[in-house]
Structure 1
């Protein structure tokens, strides 16, 4: 089944809440207050991330970020409106599989989670959102790019990061502006993307935005991120196309493959331009590919490098775990804060009351935004802001828009064919 058909089927399933026992696997839990232990003991927040499988590094990072948020909340006195009750993180490993994420979500809700955060992968979040809707328990997505989830009228799904269309639109706009300021106006963009709903959605949204700006897009080249072991053929196709920019939307492992193939083929490009890409804005990408990734751009969500509170959190993470804190982990931290502050405002562990409090929340983020985390009626964060980053001298720098920039964009590549 295609990702789009899966989303549509699950959306129809969720719309029939009273009849969903046979839809999506798990039976509904009944009343919103159902679940063990919500009225006493620690306030449980469920965290669903892929801590095993191909995306385990990111998943582990995000689980740690969520745990650090819980520790910060408890150190500050817990949930004060509930007499200082402590918060506890209950975790589930999605294994990067939609059906596993779905069953783990049901388990965490049945065990008393007042809300869920997750999941890193759009396909997994699609299933979890159905479980959350059926059980009337809020689900705050930290990393989930797909916009399809937010087209079904769900009441219990929220998202901290900007969505695929917002990122793709910003990517096209930033590309036009940066290239023109550099005196090399973009002419034609080839788009390389992984083939699930995430990558396809990013490519389609970018092409739509680029067309409005007078930018030609093509060819559109897809690949299977799970099975791909080499992208040389795809990059050779890019070279033959005459495109002066290569846009890329994929995950981390295939991002490395793309960088290696670009180095081998050396297409005649002015820029490599990540669009929601899971590799090009990661410190590990820089260390793994070295000079091959120099000057790569990436339009994406990002931790706020200019926020002192974010700098402090990332320093603590580095000290504790011996690795740089990725943006996904900071988003998980923000998502837990959203649920905890919802509980605080609701003065209740009733998920429906918590959901109402979240819907009206104003939470200060540690990720880039134009203001506090605040949700539109469809559950999207109204103040989420995509930012343009670039690998410069072996470091990831925010370079655009100007008010978020740590340094200026360098619109050139380090190779020529």
Structure 2
């Protein structure tokens, strides 16, 4: 296990490794390229730092870099004589084919492991590259569960997946609404149409139906082209749904909130499911009063962990913006690969993979224990939490063991 210490400022030089993007590298090539006894231990980070997802992608790259700095400040990889860790980065541009070629480039350039990618469709392609090259891929933000149904040995995931989050979202909704004396009966759902949003909607629909709820209408959309959701929210209003569930990215989810404010459907709650906006401080500031009381079931940084608070304070000081949960997950993912290298005492990717499968790492995100992977590569201690915007702040409100305050289900739209 990696022992964490206070984060101190350090230089943030990021090395872009220039190497070919062709076919598979020979097994072990990454470790050999990194050097068998000297030079930095390279960890590759793939995130969208250009395009529509660039704000989150840059956050995650910075979170990964902070983890590298923390490891080096603590003495580097002790089992390798104190060798430093170095982050090698790639911009996926949010495109699966670019993520795939960039993953190959980073592996050919010596990465002992990869973290990423924020988008499930990109991670799906990168997981194939990681498997072919026998290099571990620790996913920080990737919601789709399908990746873990192929029997891959080199893919791991820190966050809970769509199924786990959506099931929790349906259970939390039922319990919170019943406790408020306004039990939910009918839920409309809007979701972006890629693997991420569709998977979340599928899982939520199944879980909600099993709990006796009606889920209708179900409305999908293209997050990359959508500019107004007035007609969709008008459809939700006409349906008579008690609650609107939303599974989308940041920009589209903000537009949906603006349409809700304009159309004013008779809703008891707006309920984010793996939503990329409704638990973000930026949404609080961008949406203002219209976002007050929005709920969101998702992974989240552990607001009750002093180390998490220290990390977020350092991020705010350095970059002048609140640190999002995705950046904290990227931090945890890098720490996990470094723990694997430490445990393996080697930069051979196969040895690192085998070590990652066994290590336990204390996360700075909400969980039911240390990051620990099952045979399928899933973090067995990952957990979702319900959040709500209350008085201009995102607060954890359910389950009670993780709550900063009680959920407020009294406000209708």
Q: Note if contact 2:272-2:278 (Cα within 8 Å) is conserved in structure 1.
A: yes
2:121 pairs, out of 116, 120, 123, with: 123
Q: Which residue of 1 aligns with 2:171?
A: 173
Which of residues 323, 326, 334 is equivalent to 2:324? 326
**Gapped runs of 5+ residues in structure 1?**
1-24
Measure how far apart 1:289 and its partner are. 0.8
Q: How does 1:54-69 map to 2 (within 5 A)?
A: 54-69=52-67
1:377 aligns with 2:375: yes
User: Quick one: distance in 2 between partners of 1:57 and 1:283?
Assistant: 13
Counterpart CA distance in 1 for 2:22 and 2:212 is: 48
Determine whether 1:287 maps to 2:250: no
Q: Shift of the alpha carbon at 1:26?
A: 4.1
SS in 2 for 1:384: coil
Q: Which residue does the alignment assign to 1:33?
A: 29
Structure 2 SS opposite 1:399: strand
CA contact (8 A) 1:302 1:387 kept: yes
Equivalent-residue separation in structure 2 for 1:149 and 1:299 (angstroms): 22
d(CA) in 2 for partners of 1:37, 1:248: 43
The CA distance in 1 between the partners of 2:272 and 2:221, in whole Å, is 16
Q: Distance in 2 between matches of 1:414 and 1:309?
A: 36
Secondary structure in 1 matching 2:114 = strand
**Structure 1 partner of 2:216:** 218
Residues of 1 paired with 2:267 and 2:22: CA distance? Answer: 49
Match of 1:4 in 2: none
Q: What is the aligned counterpart of 2:266 among 262, 265, 268?
A: 268
* Other-structure match for 2:155: 157
Cα distance in 1, alignment partners of residues 296 and 58 from structure 2:
23
- Post-superposition Cα deviations, 1:340-398, rounded to whole Å, max 9, x if no partner, equal 00000000000000000000111000000000000011101000000000000110000
- SS of residue matched to 1:116: strand
Q: 1:177 to 1:113 in 2, by over 3 A?
A: same
Select 1:45's aligned residue among 40, 43, 59: 43
Q: d(CA) in 2 for partners of 1:132 and 1:88?
A: 19
Q: Secondary structure at the match of 1:36?
A: helix
- Separation of aligned partners in 2, 1:59 and 1:223: 22
Q: Report the CA distance between 1:37 and its aligned residue.
A: 2.8
Task: State the TM-score, normalized to the length of structure 2.
Answer: 0.94
**Is the contact between residue 371 and residue 383 of structure 1 (CA under 8 Å) also seen in structure 2?**
yes
Match of 2:351 among 342, 350, 353: 353
Residues 294-345 of structure 1 deviation map (CA, whole Å, 9 limit, x = unaligned)? 0000000000000000011001111111100000000000000000000000
For 1:248, the equivalent position in structure 2 comes to 246
Indicate which of 76, 81, 86 corresponds to 1:78.
Answer: 76
2:13 aligns with none
Give the number of equivalent residue pairs.
391
Q: For structure 1, which segment, 207-216 or 320-329, has the greater mean C-alpha deviation from structure 2 after superposition? A: 207-216
**Deviates most, 297-306 or 31-40:** 31-40
Distance 2:333 2:381 in 1: 14
Corresponding residue of 2:10: none
Partner of 1:138: 136
- Tell me the distance in 1 between the aligned counterparts of 2:43 and 2:198: 32
Aligned-residue CA RMSD in angstroms?
0.9
Q: Structure 2 unaligned segments of length 5 or more: list them.
A: 1-20
Instruction: Give runs of aligned pairs for residues 174-213 of structure 1, distance below 5 A.
Output: 174-213=172-211
Q: Which moved more, 1:396-405 or 1:28-37?
A: 28-37
Query: How far does residue 93 in structure 1 lie from its aligned partner after superposition?
Result: 0.4
Does the residue aligned with 1:158 lie in a helix, a strand or coil? strand
Distance across 1 between alignment mates of 2:276 and 2:101 = 26
Alignment of 1:218-237 (within 5 A): 218-237=216-235
Structure 2 residue matching 1:186: 3-state secondary structure: coil
